[in-house]
Structure 1
């Protein structure tokens, strides 16, 4: 069963620093940056490499922060394309992130009245995540904990300075980094560490985070604490009853339904789980976690035909959301169980993927 809603952290595609309001637009921040961001959003990673190479060769990058921003996009594109050694070479070309060479005040003529680091946060994140991609888990964990210390120190500074907007942004970064760490520790079945991380985060938060509390419930389920998980999930549902109609209600309702479905799955009540996922899909057809998990429940109920239809319809309706390796692996597994000529069917799917998938999609997941 896919537990994406509890364990997955999204890879950022926006490299620029949201804390600065000194620039009116992306292109004011760096040359043709809006175009780079658009390419990243569409998964056109090879085009990003070409664009960065062109900007460097034509000497379009005139300020220090231009080079760092473009290097961030280049490293991200290389990682997305699984060219990890090349990404490592790119990152190794940098000095220590705390070097004075990366401080605005070191260039008073270029950045009058600006202080602090010009290193994009996403570059720090890429530096932490790269060792995991190169099978060096311990170094990756060490870098992530150093990044967490950095973020928390910045958060303390902003709180002390009563800069509420900046503090809020750094708080979101703290949650993001902790979620990354929880994901890596979950993959190693280090549930005690995960519980400590998430409880520490919740304890120090002024706001109730339903996604974070739901994730706590998921971890509690992993260690067999069904009572604790139910309590966590009920807290999320209680928040829903206090919400009025706004843009967050659909997302919150779906979170509640997915939490209920997980409880049903523990008891192998797949029919009830399907009902919860169907409510999610009716509310939001792009809820790919609900779509994927509904299909798997149908497979467990030996209804392969409907399970296949659920995934195929999602790929047709919302390909930009549904086209990920998990969904395709599950669909191909169902093909293998349902059809004698599954190789031909998977080949048709693979040809369609080749036409519409982003550059970083792993086509080997079709197992042709």
Structure 2
């Protein structure tokens, strides 16, 4: 029998608001740069994002001299401050998109470098960024570095975030370390502790079900995944969840095909045309 893989999930990036002011809105330029990822053309997306990053650096350089590109009159101190804040926010957003694209390309080391640069620019997101970097090191198989980063993530300014948010992230980090060590029950306990604080988090429910699978409880895993997928469409209809569920159907019985087909009406009702039907594992 061919090996079947099921996958854990974790969120890779925090998001920031972006201020817009252009004949061609900056958000449209950013969308234009990110769209190729959805068609599998990661390199084109990376090229466009790098060009946007270069543009942001150029404009910032001019703004810090007291001018805007194509404007002859110098900026007032107030306008200069507003412009610098605006373009720094745009540059930060581009860097997050760059990191996401690098993760999609599985270039985790370069993604970590991007996040390291963001640490200096966004001290208010230090704990979140350190956790993300730690999770990427886990993906690379570097447990000592991951544990070091997770520890640094706990050494934080009390004003940075709420206690509940910190505890959720701590439990998730502990759970992922235990997954790495194949300590499935300990990992499951950590994810369940986080779920008590965020009961609507579908990623945590997925991870708990996957721990159940690796403990050898196939039917219980299927029940948990089915409950998540049908729980609150469309937010719970995620490709990773369906991939895990249909993979367990293949292991359970020969009637897997009909069970997979039963999700088509649900997808037709709640998701758009861009949803990857390949996650159903239909042949």
TM-score, length of structure 1 as denominator length: 0.62
The residue aligned with 1:366 is 280
How far, CA to CA, are the matches of 2:280 and 2:121 in structure 1? 44
Query: Which one of the candidate residues 83, 98, 101 is aligned to 1:181?
Result: 98
Residue pair 2:18, 2:89 contacting (<8 A) in 1 also = no
Counterparts in 2 of 1:165 and 1:342: CA distance versus 1, 3 Å: farther
Counterparts in 2 of 1:18 and 1:288: CA distance versus 1, 3 Å: same
Residue pair 1:195, 1:216 contacting (<8 A) in 2 also = yes
Query: Which one of the candidate residues 174, 193, 200 is aligned to 1:260?
Result: 174
Pairwise CA distance, 1:319: 2.0
Partner of 2:114: helix, strand, or coil?
Answer: helix
Q: Does 1:192 align with 2:109?
A: yes
> What is the number of equivalent residue pairs in this alignment?
264
How far, CA to CA, are the matches of 2:90 and 2:43 in structure 1? 22
Query: Which one of the candidate residues 241, 245, 251 is aligned to 1:327?
Result: 241
Query: Which one of the candidate residues 21, 27, 45 is aligned to 1:140?
Result: 45
How far, CA to CA, are the matches of 1:229 and 1:366 in structure 2? 33
5+ unaligned residues in a row in structure 1: which ranges? 21-115
How far, CA to CA, are the matches of 1:192 and 1:181 in structure 2? 13
Pairwise CA distance, 1:165: 7.2
Counterparts in 2 of 1:233 and 1:341: CA distance versus 1, 3 Å: same
The residue aligned with 1:19 is 19
Counterparts in 2 of 1:150 and 1:3: CA distance versus 1, 3 Å: farther
Pairwise CA distance, 1:333: 0.8
The residue aligned with 2:27 is 122
Pairwise CA distance, 1:217: 0.8
Residue pair 2:249, 2:259 contacting (<8 A) in 1 also = yes
Counterparts in 2 of 1:152 and 1:305: CA distance versus 1, 3 Å: farther
5+ unaligned residues in a row in structure 2: which ranges? 1-6, 67-76
Residue pair 2:133, 2:146 contacting (<8 A) in 1 also = yes
Pairwise CA distance, 1:249: 4.1
Partner of 1:340: helix, strand, or coil?
Answer: coil
The residue aligned with 1:214 is 131
How far, CA to CA, are the matches of 2:81 and 2:232 in structure 1? 37
Residue pair 1:325, 1:362 contacting (<8 A) in 2 also = yes
The CA deviation string for residues 246-268 of structure 1, in whole angstroms up to 9 with x for no partner, is: 7x444332222111111111111
Pairwise CA distance, 1:298: 1.1
Compare 289-298 and 132-141 and name the one that shifted more. 132-141
Counterparts in 2 of 1:133 and 1:357: CA distance versus 1, 3 Å: closer
Pairwise CA distance, 1:134: 4.8
The residue aligned with 2:226 is 312
How far, CA to CA, are the matches of 1:360 and 1:134 in structure 2? 10
Please give the root-mean-square deviation of Cα atoms over the aligned residues, in Å. 3.2
Residue pair 2:64, 2:84 contacting (<8 A) in 1 also = yes
The CA deviation string for residues 163-203 of structure 1, in whole angstroms up to 9 with x for no partner, is: 77776665554343223222332344433322322212213
